Structure 1
Amino acid sequence: MEITVDQDSCCGAGQCVMIAPEVFDQREEDGVVVLLDPAPPASLFPVVANAAAMCPAAAITLTD
């Protein structure tokens, strides 16, 4: 799985950080998503998929 984020679309809700803090963080100044690990281990796939699904701005894209 490879993850990309669209920082321009991010609304800073922080759902991804709450669900998968090992993979996502937020910028201090505006809350926009920061991708910590664009290719996380398989053990994190379920939580990353959940984080992408819960993103209110659809700013997270997952590819195989």
Structure 2
Amino acid sequence: MRVTSPDTADGQRPGIAEILRDDDMLPHVEFDLPLNGTWSDLTAIFDIGEDTGRWVLILDQVRVM
């Protein structure tokens, strides 16, 4: 299995990305991933951080949601 481009994935496109924020934590982004050209339940979760004055996405985990 391999992650494929969202632009070429078959099936109904999910919300793609969602930004979540808790009161005592930095926000994070959940990004849905297509596998082998089809949308899947696989989600990449990124933390939002800062590096030399720029916002960066830091891969935290990949999991089935």
TM bracket (short chain): under 0.3
Structure with greater strand percent: 2
The structure whose RCO (Cα within 8 Å, separation 6+) is larger is: 1
Structure with greater helix percent: 1
Normalising to structure 1: TM-score of the pair? 0.24
Larger Rg: 2
